[in-house]
Amino acid sequence: MILVFTGLSTETNAEVQKTKRLMIEGLFNGKDGTMVLKNLKNDNIYVYNSERSTKRLTPESTFKVPNSLIGLETGAVRDEYEVKRWDGVIREFENWNRDHSLASAMRESAIWYYQDMARDIGENMMINYINQMGYGNGDITGRIDKFWLDSTLKISALEQADFMENLVEEELPFNEKNQKTVKRMMIQDEQDSFTLHGKSGTRLSDMGLGWYIGFVENDKETWVFAVNIDGSGTEAKNIAVEVLKEKEIIGEGREKSK
């Protein structure tokens, strides 16, 4: 796969930025999708499918990132090690059917843990922090333990990339310690030359929407990214990793978690 970049202009925050087109259609295997990739050192932005990059879609399990931040900030969980006991309900993924800590629930994408935490946070605190973050359309009317799952909350790939940038720079409305904790929980591949932080998400009702968001720190710079596709989170992750390799942002590495 050869990556080609050509110039185009997009308007962001009322400013016209020079953006480069990311020619990676072949990686999407005929499915609609988008990718946003930004170099935080020089602010260069690369976009595949600029029209879709502004389309707000449900965040699915990528919302575990802001949900973790809010849970830590409000004291709904003490730290990444706090364990919630499994309620004994058999769910669709075997790894969900056990006790989980905040960190393991992030790693295994155990929805029930985050639903329980969201109920503990409550609607008032949840909407307060979502509004402070400026997260997507800010609509949590679709029930406190479901609004991010094929429901009312929606966010675009460009907004996801901006959110990741703010997390990297620790400029979100949360204690720096909590932002560092969540970034640490997102580590998926750690090598001598780079560290990949990421979170996938899949619309489980029909497997028709997949996300992969995150950032990479290497020896030279930091990049943030957001991918969504009319498919699964695994497909979105595979696209992101392939592009990161082709651009030599990451090398061949071992996966620390799925």
9: annotated active-site residue:
no
Other Cβ atoms within 10 Å of 207 Cβ, number: 14
3-state class (DSSP) for residue 199: strand
How are beta strands 210-218 and 15-22 bridged, if at all?
unpaired
Q: How many angstroms separate the CA atoms of 187 and 15, rounded?
A: 33
Q: How many angstroms separate the CA atoms of 51 and 47, rounded?
A: 10
Q: How many angstroms separate the CA atoms of 229 and 32, rounded?
A: 6
* Catalytic residue from among 53, 61, 68, 200: 61
3-state class (DSSP) for residue 19: strand
Residue 49 token pair = 């499918």
Backbone phi and psi for residue 121, each to the nearest 5 degrees, phi listed first? -65, -45
Residues 6+ apart with CB under 8 A from 134: none
- For the annotated catalytic residues, the residue numbers are 61
